[in-house]
């Protein structure tokens, strides 16, 4: 099949370079950094440093912040190749894809000097303190509160579903700083602020949530009178909601889910060998349909990247892409599981491919919930369409 979009010679060369680096530095049988084997995380951290030494961890960042001023399309190639190969950067994609760009846009000079160089070198892991037990999709209803105390604030409350909290050094934390009804704060989206807090503070407690996705993915985080100051505040006080919209925009396009789907689907005939021709015709028809959906999601991602780079992205644009790519993640996983079910489990030649498919299926189960449920994405999309029709 031909490419849907020509990103240019530099992007094509970068894609080849990244595949060679993965082949050379990522261990055989790697299925991601967050397994029960600690050597997988160590391999991911080493690979991040390898990318950083070649200016490939965050190439599209400005040079003064640790990048090399590459195009957004080269950064897109990095996203695609990393996600297609089970994200050998581990948790670093969070810092690279949205914590760093948000700091570049909203951070003070001191915050940028402190945080951006370690991210660009692959030396620090971030987690994101957004969702709460009663504020997931309706994030603005969160209850974690920062109250004034001397020359700073004291934060108390709970976050949940916080990925990488057990290993992160820093948290990008959203809290309420002004109650609804106080002063000019009349809506729940107002009165929210973002603080950058160190995870080693004794006022923070992390409790892992075990799931079939493996360790580190999901955690509860408790804040008990955590002290923060003005220097920890990102952006304006009570102005966190507008920053969150940018964060979610970066986040939702930052994971190139379609790239892994397409790679696993494309590999199926080779992985099955002679058994491929014996598959039911209906199953192979579903396989073709999923490949088409991969191309659709890819092109939607490219549209969002283009809009994002020009500063014209709206919530409806990111929501439309998110709906397409998360449903693709789950639908392709079901097709791939049905394909691999046609092969005996003890078939050695397909063992690693089977493991890749099963890992993809496990991860896909949360796709339509994570980073904003698909129901909320449909609401955003509907609002955008209705607003455009007036």
User: What are the residue numbers of the active site?
Assistant: 251
Enter the DSSP assignment of 371.
T
Structure tokens at 114: 């402190």
State in Å, rounded, how far the first CA of the chain is from the last one: 41
For residue 197, CA distances in Å to 34, 154, 156, 231 come to 23, 12, 13, 10
The crossing angle, in degrees rounded to 10, of helices 315-340 and 374-388 is 140
Q: Are strands 152-160 and 219-229 parallel, antiparallel or unpaired?
A: antiparallel
SS (H, E, C) 110-171: HHHHHHHHHHHCCCCCEEEECCECCECCCHHHCCCEEEEECCEEEEEEEEECCCCCCCCCEE
3-state secondary structure of 218: coil
**How far is 79 from 7, CA to CA, in rounded Å?**
14
- The answer to whether the CB of 77 falls within 8 A of the CB of 18 is yes
Contact (CB, 8 A) for 257 and 87? no
Question: Residue 24: how many CA atoms within 13 Å on its side-chain side?
Answer: 9
Compute the distance between CA of residue 228 and CA of residue 321 in angstroms, rounded to an integer.
Answer: 36
């Amino acid at each position: 099949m031909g490419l849907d979009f020509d990103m240019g010679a530099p992007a094509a060369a970068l894609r080849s370079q990244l595949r060679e680096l993965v082949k050379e530095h990522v261990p055989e049988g790697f299925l991601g950094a967050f397994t029960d084997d600690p050597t997988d995380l160590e391999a991911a951290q080493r690979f991040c440093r390898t990318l950083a030494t070649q200016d490939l961890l965050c190439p599209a960042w400005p040079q003064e912040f640790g990048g090399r001023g590459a195009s957004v399309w080269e950064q897109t190639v990095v996203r695609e190749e990393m996600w297609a190969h089970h994200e050998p950067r581990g948790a670093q994609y969070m810092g690279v894809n949205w914590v760093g760009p948000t700091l570049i846009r909203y951070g003070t000079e001191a915050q940028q000097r402190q945080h951006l160089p370690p991210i660009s070198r692959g030396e620090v892991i971030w987690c994101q303190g957004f969702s709460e037990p009663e504020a997931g999709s309706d994030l603005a209803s969160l209850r974690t509160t920062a109250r004034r105390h001397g020359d700073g604030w004291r934060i108390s409350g709970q976050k949940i579903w916080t990925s990488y909290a057990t290993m992160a050094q820093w948290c990008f934390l959203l809290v309420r700083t002004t109650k609804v009804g106080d002063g000019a704060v009349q809506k729940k989206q107002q009165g929210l602020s973002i603080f950058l807090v160190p995870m080693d503070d004794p006022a923070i407690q992390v409790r892992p949530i075990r799931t079939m996705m493996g360790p580190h993915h999901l955690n509860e985080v408790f804040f008990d009178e955590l002290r923060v100051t003005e220097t920890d505040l990102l952006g304006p006080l009570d102005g966190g909601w507008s920053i969150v919209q940018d964060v979610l925009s970066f986040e939702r396009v930052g994971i190139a889910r379609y790239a892994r789907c397409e790679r696993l689907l494309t590999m199926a005939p080779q992985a099955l060998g002679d058994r491929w021709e014996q598959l039911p015709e209906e199953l192979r028809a579903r396989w073709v349909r999923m490949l088409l959906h991969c191309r659709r999601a890819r092109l939607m991602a490219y549209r969002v990247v283009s809009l994002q780079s020009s500063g014209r992205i709206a919530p409806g644009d990111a929501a439309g892409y998110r709906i397409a790519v998360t449903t693709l993640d789950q639908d392709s996983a079901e097709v791939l599981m049905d394909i691999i079910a046609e092969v005996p489990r003890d078939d050695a030649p397909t063992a690693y491919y089977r493991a890749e498919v099963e890992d993809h299926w496990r991860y896909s189960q949360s796709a339509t919930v994570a980073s904003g449920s698909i129901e909320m994405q449909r609401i955003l999309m509907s609002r955008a369409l209705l607003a455009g029709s007036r």
